[in-house]
Amino acid sequence: MQLISCPWCGPREEAEYHYGGQAHVAYPHDVGAMSDADWADYLFFRDNPRGPFAERWVHAAGCRRWFNAVRDTGTHEVLAVYRIGEPQPELGTQASR
Amino acid sequence: MTAEHVSPSKLLRPLSPLDGWQAAFDALPNVVAVTEIAFMAQLNLRVDPSGPAAGAVAKVLGSALPTQPCSSTRSGEYQLLWLGPDEWLILAPEGAGPELETALREAIGGEPGAVTDVSAQRTTLALSGCASRELLAKGCSIDLHPKVSPMGTCVQTLVAQTGIIIVARDETASDFLLVVRASFAQYFAAWLIDAGVELTGAC
Amino acid sequence: MTRLTTGGLIDRTTVLSFSFDGRPYAGHPGDTLASALLANGVHRVATSVNRGRPRGIMAAGVEEASALVQLEAPFPEPMLSATTIELYEGLVARGLPGRGKLADRPDPARYDAIHAHCDVLVVGAGPAGLMAALTAARAGSRVVLVDEQPMVGGSLLGTRGELSDWTATVLAELTSTPEVLVLSRTTAFGYYDDGFVLALQKRTDHLGAAAPDNAARQRIWRLRAKQVILATGAHERPVVFADNDRPGVMLAQAGRTYLNRYGVLAGNRILVFTTNDSAYVAAVELAEAGAEVTVVDPRTDLAPFWAAECARVGIAVRPGHMVTGTTGEERVTGVHLAAYPSGGASATVHCDLLLVSGGWNPTVHLFSQARGKLEYDAELGAFLPVAGLPGAGVVGVRVTGAAAGTVSLAGCLAGGAAEAVAALRDLGVAAQPVAPPPVGTDRVERAGLVLWTVPVEISLDGSDLSDTRFVDLQRDATVGDVLRAAGAGLRSVEHVKRYTTIGTAHDQGKTSGLIASGIMADALGVDMAALGTTTYRPPYASVSFAALAGRDRGAIFDPVRVTAIHSWHIEHGAQFEDVGQWKRPLCYPRRTAFGGLEDLPAAVARETRAARTGVAMLDASTLGKINVQGVDAGEFLDRIYTNIISTLKPGFVRYAVMCGMDGMILDDGTVMRVSDTEFVLTTTTGNAAKVLDWLEEFAQTEWPDLRVHLTSVTEQWATIPVVGPLSRQVIAAVAPALDVSNEAFGFMTWRSAEIAGIEARICRISFSGELAYEVNVPSWYGIAVWQAVFDAGQPYGITPYGTETMHVLRAEKGYPIIGQDTDGTVTPQDLGMSWVVSKKKLDFVGKRSFSRAENLRPDRKHLVGLLPVDRSVLLAEGAQVIADPDVSQLPVVMLGHVTSSYRSVALGGTFGLALVRSGRDRIGERLFAWQDGEVVPVMVTGPVLYDEEGARRDG
Ligand SMILES: [Zn+2]
């Protein structure tokens, strides 16, 4: 049972969290003006790197806050967590709270 | 699980989610004691802790809102539980809900915020006794050791797959408030009682 | 009798009777089943799984690969190792031919789980582990010490009481230190992430039938440690030779343990075959206990100390020799010897016990599970944890003692203390290592010889199927099998493991895995270091499913959610169904005139008739409810829902649909406007948590500028729809102050009113098409108000109804259930609900997707009604809808499937809803449903089959 650190509540078991997919994928500004291809690209395509990956998580069974985490998809290690609105920490730094 | 027989004389009275369960709680070994504190007023409060509404709310509550995550404070008859960076659960005596809700809504005024009466959304259990921590450890992954979770600690977590708020009420981690969703309350009570089967004698 | 009159850690004053293979025996407290059997001269315990060969006891612990038994009393349990069963009065067991048999009755024992947290977790209470735990305890840390044995001491338990006073003192200090927890009979079987270790504690197994009913027989400890120190020791490994599986062939340390710990001399003429110095102490002690001992050692340069000791006690030593085979059937009777390595000068020697030592495998399982790196040590012939190299170790995990390859007792004692100091330093605690007790000089003087199997003709085809050189006794897998794997071209030890099954039995190859790798390396002529080991995976030792399930069984297996009105439903004979975790009344069967109970169709027919022609009531409290507050609440909901919400006035209610970004329906419900800045919306029962998470994600991440707050109020409100043409009279009766007329209280509005003195919110909404009032009260009053409505409805024959009737009523009206009539690929337009999709709003979640080409295809699946031509045939939900009744022509073209199907009183027969390709263009067509091997003709209709003009909603 992995521990994930909520930026508010601190380390909790992973079962308290829900996953929210890739972080920092902004909702497009003028969706009406987007081509079908561009919209499909936003809708269906996400990065799938091996290594550090910025993701959204929600502390569903705790404070109900969404936050971002950088997780190494190869090892599952959570390298950093940061609150919504905070900049993504430099990758490679162990900036977890 | 036992179903409480509903006699007609009770029907105009409110019924708490764990009505009829006290006898089963009382049958637990005396190293733990479980009591439902029914009908407590509960208000969900949302304000920006750094905004002007927080100050106005503090005046109503007689205390500043706790801003330390996973903490709580007492203010007279109120208990202010941190639920999130802009969210609190206010516990107040039975019947105090409507008046407090109005006062808090007035205090917030036009500022961002919300007050929601959730008195019947959850029920509250007082868990005490020297085996309290052991009993909770059978389902709770959070370290409730008094050094880690001192008095006032208020955590939201899962116990027995049930969302629960745990408030540490003393310095020895033997007195807790458990706030549980009403629909889960009977299941959780059954789980607690089963968890207590093995507790015997003294601590 | 082979039991000695003195010595060991058994209590000879108490006799325990037990039975094995139907024969009665006696043993003592402190025995294992294995030691008690040996004490009674029983060597043959089991029969091998494939080849039917007699098998005995080869070890004295968890590494046992052979002596599998089935417990029969007090409760059947299969596949247990005789070496790990503590003897108890009344034990009944029998030897297994490889496979056991599960009990055919429920296990009455309790099992549970518990969480514990500590600064330092020490696994293993041998010399290293005790030193580590004591060092950490004296530093004031929270310490958990786990050990699989009933008493601490680890390897010391197999000695002549070495350091026994010290271990007793240490245990006493540890158990009396606050914040120190010593768990015996507890096997740490898995290392998971972030210092999380699972351990199985056998709490009452050793009590047999005397185990108290209320105590969990076994407990899973969920240990969360900041630092983990693995002092897990080492397992002796054998050397492989022909017929090495006979009863009476045993690991050398096991022979010593049976002597010293259990007072059992397992043989009188003992041959010790060892490649290293560690077995000499066993030989000497057994000789001193009265056995005639011969040592066979392939090495020629023997340690002077051991040569002298052997001479002193009369042990004949045969250096430069090896064991090439054995004789005997039920028990070994002799050994074939030959010169090493030539194989010349062979001879046969009689013996009744053959002890073997091929060296030691450090128990690195947990370290490896923690992703610690292992490195081959050619001198020890073993894989050792790599320590001290950057990136090689695991943060917070240390290995010490024999598990780290330390051979000497003094080294283990010092190492344990040092690792504890290091672990505490990482926690910011300065600690001193405790002083080790004085120990004698270590007597390992000469390097061992790494020998996996005695030399044999290496042939890659492994054609000899009668091979008796067993590598994995439990799997009956031999040297020949390994060679066959190599001959088949396999080069990875992982592949060899699967090909030969070596290491896949209950013992997980503790004694065989490395040997298989060694034989493979020799056969291929590759370096052992390059070949590596198979992956160590949890569990380290067998764990029963009952223990893993713990208390998550029976009534508390999964949360059961009930509404505030649940007890009334029980009292009134409701039949329940599970809707997610909720218990909901399915129907309320009544007694029939003949004394029986109505069946479901009869109850539903009665309940639907009441709703359509009189008045009926439902407990809809399970609907998810979310309070939405803030000045931007309307704007927020405009962005979430497909239709406009901000124009809704306080006092009004609107049906609304929310979609995903892809335009597919996510959920639906009603939105009630309480004030300019407050709404209450409902979700489907199963989606409440998901929808709240979804809304919170947008509120917190996409539109944090919107001033809106969301709070779940699902259980705050009990929700009671009162439904039917006579519902107005009932509501008028319970809420006398409320003007219930259609003019004053119109459809899709809500009012505050007192019902039986309780403040309620009443909504004119309908999920049945009938005149209906949905009563919402704080759930404390749910049952009181339910009863009040029920009482007031008596003159009108009010009928409580369940979910099945609710479904019939809504399906007759073509109202879809999200998640039943939709499946995540369905748009509002597909459901024929374009009206719920705003054309005016600039944007909302999912809007852009509606103009994707795929979502504009004319042949999308539409929701339609289906009327079977034979109105007595009930369509099967999920049945495929096809156009051509000739299903012999493959492939059959599927047009869609039946999503809902019911019998209807109002419609005079069965009907269904279905998603059908181009369905709206097929209305009036005859199609077919394929079910139970038959084609059922159906007519396609619009989805609304009852009161299409909506005349009934206002009564
Ligand atoms: Zn949190």
C-alpha of residue C662 to centroid of ligand 1, in Å: 29
Question: Best interface-test mutation with B: which of A1, A65, A84 has the largest number of B CBs within 10 A?
Answer: A65
Q: What are the C-alpha distances in Å from A40 to residues A24, A27, C597, C849? A: 17, 13, 56, 9
In 3D space, the residue among C781, C788, C845, C774 whose CA is nearest the CA of residue C623 turns out to be: C774
Tokens for B61, please give them. Answer: 């509550």
**Would you say residue C912 has pLDDT above 70?**
yes
Residues C100, C544 contacting (CB under 8 angstroms) = no
pLDDT of residue B6: 36
Same domain, B113 and B125: no
Tokens for C150, please give them. Answer: 């009933």
Chain C residues within 8 A of B101 when measuring between CB atoms: none
Query: pLDDT-derived band of residue C534, with 50, 70 and 90 as boundaries?
Result: confident
Please answer yes or no on whether B155 and A63 come within 8 Å at the CB atom. Answer: no
**Would you say residue C226 has pLDDT above 80?**
yes
Q: CB-based contact (8 Å) between B36 and chain C?
A: no
**Would you say residue B10 has pLDDT above 60?**
no
Can you tell me the distance from the alpha carbon of B78 to that of B100, in angstroms, rounded to the nearest whole number? 10
pLDDT in tens, C96-116: 987 888 999 999 999 999 999
Query: pLDDT-derived band of residue C457, with 50, 70 and 90 as boundaries?
Result: low
pLDDT of residue C154: 97
Asked if residue B70 belongs to a domain, the reply is: yes
Residue listed under structure tokens 């539409």: C862
Please answer yes or no on whether A58 and C853 come within 8 Å at the CB atom. Answer: no
Question: Best interface-test mutation with B: which of A2, A5, A12 has the largest number of B CBs within 10 A?
Answer: A12
Looking at per-residue confidence, does C506 or B9 come out higher? C506
Please answer yes or no on whether C847 and A43 come within 8 Å at the CB atom. Answer: no
Give Cα C135 distance to the centre of its chain. Answer: 35
Tokens for C939, please give them. Answer: 């007519």
Tokens for C131, please give them. Answer: 């030193």
Chain B residues within 8 A of C779 when measuring between CB atoms: 17, 120-121, 182
pLDDT of residue C533: 86
Can you tell me the distance from the alpha carbon of A53 to that of C447, in angstroms, rounded to the nearest whole number? 50
Asked if residue B75 belongs to a domain, the reply is: yes
Same domain, B85 and B143: no
Domain parsing of chain A, residue ranges:
3-27+39-83
The number of domains in chain B is 2
- Select the residue of C112, C707, C712 nearest B138 (Cβ to Cβ): C112
Give CA angle at C917 (C914, C918), nearest 5°: 110
> Number of CB pairs < 8 Å for B and C?
146
Asked if residue B4 belongs to a domain, the reply is: no
Q: CB-based contact (8 Å) between A66 and chain B?
A: no
Tokens for C451, please give them. Answer: 């020998």
**Looking at residues C391-413, what average pLDDT do you find?**
88
Please answer yes or no on whether C117 and B198 come within 8 Å at the CB atom. Answer: no
> Number of CB pairs < 8 Å for A and C?
51
C-alpha of residue C625 to centroid of ligand 1, in Å: 23
Please answer yes or no on whether C194 and A2 come within 8 Å at the CB atom. Answer: yes
pLDDT of residue B9: 39
Q: Reduced to 3 states, what is the DSSP secondary structure of residue C493?
A: helix
Question: Best interface-test mutation with A: which of B44, B88, B116, B157 has the largest number of A CBs within 10 A?
Answer: B157
Same domain, B148 and B94: no
Same domain, B92 and B134: no
Q: What is the DSSP string of chain B?
A: --PPP--GGGTTS---TTTT-HHHHHTS-TT-EEEEETT-EEEEEEE-TTSHHHHHHHHHHTSPPP-STT-EEEETTEEEEEEETTEEEEEE-TT-HHHHHHHHHHHHTTSSEEEEE-TTTEEEEEEESTTHHHHHHTTB-S---TTTS-TT-EEEEEETTEEEEEEE-STTS-EEEEEEEHHHHHHHHHHHHHHTTT--S--
Tokens for C377, please give them. Answer: 């040590």
Residues C515, C471 contacting (CB under 8 angstroms) = yes
Please answer yes or no on whether C193 and A65 come within 8 Å at the CB atom. Answer: no
Q: Which residues pair with C913 in a beta bridge?
A: C865, C900
Same domain, B54 and B154: no
Query: pLDDT-derived band of residue B7, with 50, 70 and 90 as boundaries?
Result: very low
Q: CB-based contact (8 Å) between B122 and chain C?
A: yes
Same domain, B192 and B95: no
Residues B1, B10 contacting (CB under 8 angstroms) = no
In 3D space, the residue among C497, C451, C500 whose CA is nearest the CA of residue C480 turns out to be: C500
pLDDT of residue C346: 85
**B33-37 and B41-47 as β-strands: parallel, antiparallel, unpaired?**
unpaired
- Select the residue of A8, A61, A63 nearest B158 (Cβ to Cβ): A61
Residue listed under structure tokens 């300019």: C676
Same domain, B106 and B142: no
C-alpha of residue A11 to centroid of ligand 1, in Å: 9
* CATH number of B70's domain: 3.30.70.1520
C-alpha of residue A7 to centroid of ligand 1, in Å: 7
Residues C841, C638 contacting (CB under 8 angstroms) = yes
Q: Is the dihedral of CA B184, B185, B190, B191 positive or negative?
A: positive
Give CA angle at C460 (C456, C466), nearest 5°: 60
What's the mean pLDDT when you consider all of chain B?
A: 93
Residue of C nearest to A68 (CA): C701
Can you tell me the distance from the alpha carbon of B203 to that of B134, in angstroms, rounded to the nearest whole number? 10
Q: Reduced to 3 states, what is the DSSP secondary structure of residue C422?
A: helix
Can you tell me the distance from the alpha carbon of C310 to that of C315, in angstroms, rounded to the nearest whole number? 5
How buried is C404 (Cβ within 10 angstroms: 0-12 exposed, 13-18 middle, 19+ buried)?
buried
Same domain, B49 and B82: yes
Chain C residues within 8 A of B44 when measuring between CB atoms: 711
Can you tell me the distance from the alpha carbon of C317 to that of C331, in angstroms, rounded to the nearest whole number? 23
Taking chain B, what is the end-to-end CA distance rounded to the nearest angstrom?
28
pLDDT of residue C455: 86
Domain that holds residue B126: 20-38+121-196
Asked if residue B14 belongs to a domain, the reply is: no
Can you tell me the distance from the alpha carbon of B84 to that of C103, in angstroms, rounded to the nearest whole number? 49
Asked if residue B9 belongs to a domain, the reply is: no
pLDDT in tens, C356-383: 999 999 999 999 999 899 999 999 999 9
Rounded to 5, what percent of chain A is helix, strand, coil?
A: 15, 35, 50
* CATH number of B192's domain: 3.30.1360.120
Q: CB-based contact (8 Å) between A84 and chain B?
A: no
C-alpha of residue B176 to centroid of ligand 1, in Å: 20
Please answer yes or no on whether A58 and C852 come within 8 Å at the CB atom. Answer: no
pLDDT of residue C714: 98
C-alpha of residue C699 to centroid of ligand 1, in Å: 16
Q: CB-based contact (8 Å) between A85 and chain B?
A: no
In 3D space, the residue among C368, C365, C361, C366 whose CA is nearest the CA of residue C383 turns out to be: C361
In 3D space, the residue among C189, C96, C62 whose CA is nearest the CA of residue C507 turns out to be: C62
Please answer yes or no on whether A76 and C192 come within 8 Å at the CB atom. Answer: no
Residues C367, C385 contacting (CB under 8 angstroms) = yes
Please answer yes or no on whether A63 and B87 come within 8 Å at the CB atom. Answer: yes
**Would you say residue B3 has pLDDT above 60?**
no
What beta strand segments (E) does C386-439 contain? 397-399
Same domain, B142 and B107: no
Residue listed under structure tokens 């049976």: C258
Domain final position from B117, B143, B171: B117
Can you tell me the distance from the alpha carbon of C907 to that of C867, in angstroms, rounded to the nearest whole number? 10
- Select the residue of A27, A34, A66 nearest C696 (Cβ to Cβ): A66
Chain C residues within 8 A of A56 when measuring between CB atoms: 697, 701
Give Cα C235 distance to the centre of its chain. Answer: 28
Question: Which residues have CB atoms below 5 A from the ion given as ligand 1?
Answer: A 6, 8-9, 59, 62-63
Distance from CA of B191 to the nearest CA of C (A): 6
Domain final position from B117, B135, B158: B117
Query: pLDDT-derived band of residue B4, with 50, 70 and 90 as boundaries?
Result: very low
Domain final position from B59, B89, B117: B117
**Looking at residues C293-309, what average pLDDT do you find?**
96
Query: pLDDT-derived band of residue C462, with 50, 70 and 90 as boundaries?
Result: low
Residues C144, C198 contacting (CB under 8 angstroms) = no
**Would you say residue C1 has pLDDT above 70?**
no
Can you give C318-361 as a three-state secondary structure string?
EECEEEEEEEECCCEEEEEEEECCCCCCCEEEECCEEEEECCEE
Q: What are the C-alpha distances in Å from C85 to residues B175, C217, C296, C644? A: 40, 14, 32, 70
Chain A residues within 8 A of C843 when measuring between CB atoms: 31-32
Q: CB-based contact (8 Å) between A58 and chain C?
A: yes
Distance from CA of A77 to the nearest CA of C (A): 9
Q: CB-based contact (8 Å) between A21 and chain C?
A: no
What's the mean pLDDT when you consider all of chain C?
A: 95
**Looking at residues C411-439, what average pLDDT do you find?**
96
Please answer yes or no on whether C689 and A60 come within 8 Å at the CB atom. Answer: yes
Least confident of B98-102, C110-114, C532-536, C628-632: C532-536
C-alpha of residue A61 to centroid of ligand 1, in Å: 8
Residues C805, C585 contacting (CB under 8 angstroms) = no
Please answer yes or no on whether A8 and B84 come within 8 Å at the CB atom. Answer: yes
pLDDT of residue C220: 98
- List the 25-64 stretch of A: residues with Cβ below 8 A of B: 61-64
Find out whether the peptide bond into C891 is cis, omega within 30 degrees of 0.
yes
- List the 113-152 stretch of B: residues with Cβ below 8 A of A: 141-142
Tokens for B166, please give them. Answer: 């745990």
pLDDT of residue B5: 39
**Would you say residue A97 has pLDDT above 80?**
no
Please answer yes or no on whether A3 and C193 come within 8 Å at the CB atom. Answer: yes
Chain B residues within 8 A of C560 when measuring between CB atoms: 1, 186-187
Same domain, B130 and B172: yes
**Would you say residue C564 has pLDDT above 60?**
yes
Chain C residues within 8 A of A65 when measuring between CB atoms: 700
pLDDT in tens, B157-179: 999 999 999 999 999 989 999 99
Which chains have 3+ CB pairs within 8 A of C?
Answer: A, B
pLDDT of residue C109: 94
Q: Which strand (E) or helix (H) includes residue C916?
A: strand C909-917
pLDDT of residue C463: 58
Q: What is the CATH number of domain A3-27+39-83?
A: 3.30.2270.10
Same domain, B47 and B66: yes
Same domain, B49 and B87: yes
Query: pLDDT-derived band of residue C56, with 50, 70 and 90 as boundaries?
Result: very high
In chain C, % of residues over pLDDT 70: 98
Q: Which strand (E) or helix (H) includes residue C424?
A: helix C409-426
Question: Best interface-test mutation with B: which of A63, A81, A83, A84 has the largest number of B CBs within 10 A?
Answer: A63
Distant-in-sequence, close-in-space partners of C643: CB < 8 Å, separation ≥ 6: C654, C656, C657, C836, C837, C838
Asked if residue B7 belongs to a domain, the reply is: no
Residue of A nearest to B71 (CA): A9
Can you tell me the distance from the alpha carbon of C471 to that of C722, in angstroms, rounded to the nearest whole number? 74
